[in-house]
Amino acid sequence: MKRRQPLTVYIIIAVLLGGISCRKEFIFNNLNLDIRFSADTLYLDTIFNGLNSSTRVLKVFNNANEGILIEKVALARGEESWYRLNVNGISGKAVERVEIGPRDSMYIFVEITPLSNALELLYVDSILFSSGGSTRYVHLVSLVSDAYFHFPDRYIPQFGLPYSLAPCNTTLPNDKPHVIYGYWVIDSLCTLTILPGTRLHFHSGSGIWVYNGGSLKVDPDNLGSYDNPVIFEGDRLEPFYKEIPGQWGGALGGIFLMGGSIDNVINNAFIKNGTIGIVLDSLDSPDPNTKITNTRLYNFSRVGLLGGFGSAEVVSTVVANCGLYCFYALGGRYSFTFTTFANYWNQNARSTPAVAITNFFEDINRNIQIRDIHKADFSSCIIYGSNNQELGILRAPSANGGVLEYFFRNSLLRVDPDTSKRGFNVSNPLVFQDCKINLNPRFRDVSQNNYLPDSLSPVIDQAFFDDAVRYPLDIRGKFRSNGGLPDMGAYEYYEN
């Protein structure tokens, strides 16, 4: 016998079908523009000529209880505008017949690619919304800066490395920024001099390579200052990128100084936001080929200063906030005076110390390879950070031999309180002289990369006096021994 469906089932189905067939259609009214914007002006950040900006978003709200038909959304400058629009997924300088449902909204994405050769200018335009005789505007503002561009014209296929040669025996003009793509190579027997106030911006994966026999001179006459440095950073100028690590530096790091390069000088530089700041390549010589003074290296996703069996002298310098190490030495010769290593990296977990020195590594066949450290001297320095252990010293297994010479004098160090985990004895007066152990240096504001000591800091008046005789000025150009003895680290304490 055939079973009959209950009457209530047919009633429900009828109601549902009736509801669908009687659903109200939106009627889009174009007689007025009762719309609201998320901003009346969009500011697109400073951008170099010829480069694409980041994207800004404008949200458009329909406040009415009925749909709105906007006859046209367009750039006021038309097809000649440097701005570009994407309106609800449709790209163009103008988009017609745009619908917004009742009490609904839509997104407009805006970008700019400047074409002007002007040195610096304020470029403005507007997005106009026209319908039913009414017009509404949202203004667009962007600062456009001209620059010298350096594009690669050569390629090393085995390393996948694009590069170009920097002009030989040249002083860079500093009237506008330099934007570098690929590696900029200072060739053998060539010197590149960079004056105070010069800004170098590196595209992702780019850097400087100082080849054997070449020389990099950054403010060699020491005419710059803390407030007028040579700046090395990425090519994204938006405020969002101001403190973002990893923006530049390719396979060779950011500034790659080959062991055969000669007389490299880096004074009054501000190097920031890369993968690796400076790479000191192999140099089996007691005489350093690089001197770094009054320099700041901040925010590197891997290492601030990497010594690969290199040789350098570093004075009145800050290396801070790195994903692995502020300074890592695998063999070599190094001398640090009045240098602050401060690692408060907070992008992800970090188990490595701020400063690590070692004289060996294990190759792919698990064989121990020795890289002797003949000198690792730290005088009047600070080595501190957010980890319990910010100084690591790792010697090759005794069966493999090797040299690891280090010396710390009048320096503040953070080491693991557990001596069994530390791996070295800070009570040994032959290598640790007059050092402060595990005292907070009381930096003024590490979140803002401010590593000045405050008035209660234990580093005040604790540096080695003879260091101040050799280097009487701190990183800011202020006299050390401010009313007393010199202070540890790059900064001498001053009230302001």
- What is the b/e burial string over 248-271, where b = at least 16 CB atoms within 10 angstroms of the residue's CB? bbbebbbbbbbbebbebbbbbbbb
Q: So what's the pLDDT on residue 8? A: 44
DSSP-assigned beta bridge partners for residue 193: 171, 217
Per-residue pLDDT at 28? 55
Query: What pLDDT score does 15 carry?
Result: 38
Asked if 334 contacts 356 with a C-beta cutoff of 8 angstroms, the reply is: no
Question: C-alpha angle 348/351/352, rounded to 5°?
Answer: 110
Give the full edge-to-edge strand order of the sheet including 207-210. Answer: 154-156, 161-165, 183-186, 207-210, 255-257, 276-280, 303-307, 325-330, 355-358, 391-394
pLDDT tens-digit profile, the chain (496 residues): 444 444 444 333 333 334 433 434 445 565 466 789 999 888 887 778 777 777 899 999 998 888 888 999 999 999 999 999 999 889 999 999 999 988 899 999 999 888 766 656 678 899 999 987 888 999 998 877 888 889 999 999 888 899 999 999 999 999 989 999 999 999 999 999 999 999 999 999 999 999 999 999 999 999 999 999 999 999 888 778 889 999 999 999 999 999 999 999 999 999 999 999 999 999 888 899 999 999 999 999 999 999 999 999 999 999 999 999 999 999 999 999 999 999 999 999 999 999 999 999 999 999 999 999 999 999 999 999 999 999 999 999 987 889 999 999 999 999 999 988 888 999 999 999 999 999 999 999 999 999 999 999 999 999 999 999 999 999 999 999 887 899 999 999 998 7
Residues 6 or more apart from 43 whose CB is under 8 A from it?
56, 141, 142
- CA gap 449, 446 in Å, rounded: 5
| First-residue to last-residue Cα distance in the chain | 99
What is the per-residue pLDDT for 51?
74
- Residue count of the chain: 496
**CA 496, CA 494: separation in Å to the nearest integer?**
5
From the list 103, 110, 107, 106, the residue with the least C-alpha distance to 124 is 110
CB contact at 8 A, 224 and 204: no
Task: Give the C-alpha separation, 337 to 315, whole Å.
Answer: 5
pTM: 0.81
Q: Which residues of 209-226 are buried (b: 16+ CB within 10 A; e: fewer)?
A: bbbeebbbbbbbeeebee
Beta bridge mates, 83: 112
The backbone torsions φ and ψ at residue 428, rounded to the nearest 5 degrees and listed phi first, read -75, 110
